[in-house]
Amino acid sequence: MDYDSIFRKRPMFAVTLPTLATRPRPLDPVLNAAGRIILGKDREIRQAIACLLAGGHLLIEDLPGVGKTTLAHALARLLGLAFSRIQFTSDLLPADITGVSIYERQRGEFRFLPGPVFSQLILADEINRATPKTQSALLEAMEERQVTVEGETRPLPEPFFVIATQNPSHQIGTFPLPESQLDRFLMRIELGYPDRNAERTLLAAGGQRALADQLSPLVAARDLPVLQSEVAGVHAAAPLIDYVQALVEASRRDPAFQHGLSPRAGLALLAAARAWAWLDGRDMVLPDDVQEVLPAVARHRLRATQGTGMARAEDITALIRTVPIP
């Protein structure tokens, strides 16, 4: 099928978009540098950056020690973002995240001490080890991009990107995120174990964390909102939007899932597909882009009919196969 002719078909009065394929891809150096730190995980690195470009937040669920924290450190350094790490524990309080007001006797007034959430890239480490009340303090900040403390609302820095890590829910001492809060993450990924060659290199080098701390910014933080605007302008033709809608509707009829994808999930899927196409140097979204990002966008939003867990990867693959490309 000739996707190029189908997805470039526009009305005669439409504005012609610039062709991104003729431009340098400004984040290629970031992808390459991060790939030298997180070995053998090029796809997962690209997913993380696509999530940032789409204006969303990222959830990484995996076992301890596979590089989740190192990935967040590396991206913060390479993108020139102010970085904060919040270690979630069972005794962490909401004020430990958002900040508190203290009374200064000399001045006779209260002064606000901002919490670690007032940064540009937040690593919420082991978010499911905190109580639901504390989890909500961060998740509300993610949704509103502002926090309200003692009646005063304060905006968060721009850009604002949260990478939350989560241990598998079967581990002792975890509080699983409810579905309504999981939906606030644009994408969910797993890093998994490295392949044999990558792990051999990692063992010989004695780890990559020190190298991540030595990275220099390759992109200015002030340029990221501009790049996000470019991503939002990537063209999605009517047949492509029909395809996204067909996938969403098919998920609602699929007996493998307890419920289907919401309209917000459809918007998230389209935003992530735009970012994936932009990273590939294109000014239009193809069905391949949608299929590439669908598992990361959809799995944590769908519950399997069998059991109580989220949808399996093979269920998403089957969903893709049931929906024809227009």
| Domain housing 54 | 28-223
CATH at 96:
3.40.50.300
Mean pLDDT of the chain: 87
249 in the same domain as 182: no
CA distance 70 to 112: 31
250 in the same domain as 215: no
pLDDT band at 7 (very low <50, low <70, confident <90, very high): very low
96 in the same domain as 199: yes
**Which of these three, 223, 255, 270, is where a domain ends?**
223
252 in the same domain as 138: no
**What is the structure's pLDDT at 169?**
58
Strand pairing category for 152-155 and 146-149: antiparallel
Tokens of 282: 């294109």
100 in the same domain as 213: yes
95 within domain boundaries: yes
210 in the same domain as 272: no
**Could you give the angle at which helices 42-53 and 224-232 cross, rounded to 10 degrees?**
90
Mean pLDDT on 93-102:
90
**What is the structure's pLDDT at 23?**
56
CA distance 255 to 302: 12
Tens-digit pLDDT profile for residues 170-198:
555 677 787 778 888 999 999 988 889 98
**Which of these three, 170, 199, 223, is where a domain ends?**
223
CA distance 201 to 207: 9
**Which of these three, 223, 257, 278, is where a domain ends?**
223
pLDDT reading at 289 higher than 50: yes
CATH at 296:
1.10.8.80
78 in the same domain as 176: yes
Amino acid letter at 41? K
Residue length of the chain: 326
111 in the same domain as 33: yes
Least confident of 1-10, 45-54, 62-71, 296-305: 1-10
Mean pLDDT on 11-25:
47
Least confident of 48-57, 278-287, 304-313, 314-323: 304-313
**Residue 101 CB burial class (10 angstroms; 0-12, 13-18, ≥19):** middle
195 in the same domain as 270: no
Q: What is the share, in percent, of the chain residues with pLDDT greater than 90? A: 58
23 within domain boundaries: no
pLDDT band at 24 (very low <50, low <70, confident <90, very high): low
37 in the same domain as 183: yes
206 in the same domain as 75: yes
Q: How many domains does the structure of the chain reveal? A: 2
**What is the structure's pLDDT at 109?**
81
22 within domain boundaries: no
Angle at 6 between CA 294 and CA 22, to 5 degrees: 80
Q: What is the share, in percent, of the chain residues with pLDDT greater than 70? A: 90
Tens-digit pLDDT profile for residues 195-213:
899 889 888 887 777 788 8
pLDDT reading at 98 higher than 80: yes
pLDDT band at 222 (very low <50, low <70, confident <90, very high): very high
**Could you give the angle at which helices 263-279 and 287-298 cross, rounded to 10 degrees?**
130
Tens-digit pLDDT profile for residues 138-157:
888 888 899 888 778 899 99
CA distances from 162 to 191, 258, 273, 291, 324 (A): 17, 28, 19, 24, 35
Q: Which residue has the tokens 């809608």?
A: 245
CA distance 117 to 258: 34
pLDDT reading at 15 higher than 80: no
Nearest to 296 by CA among 168, 181, 190, 195: 190
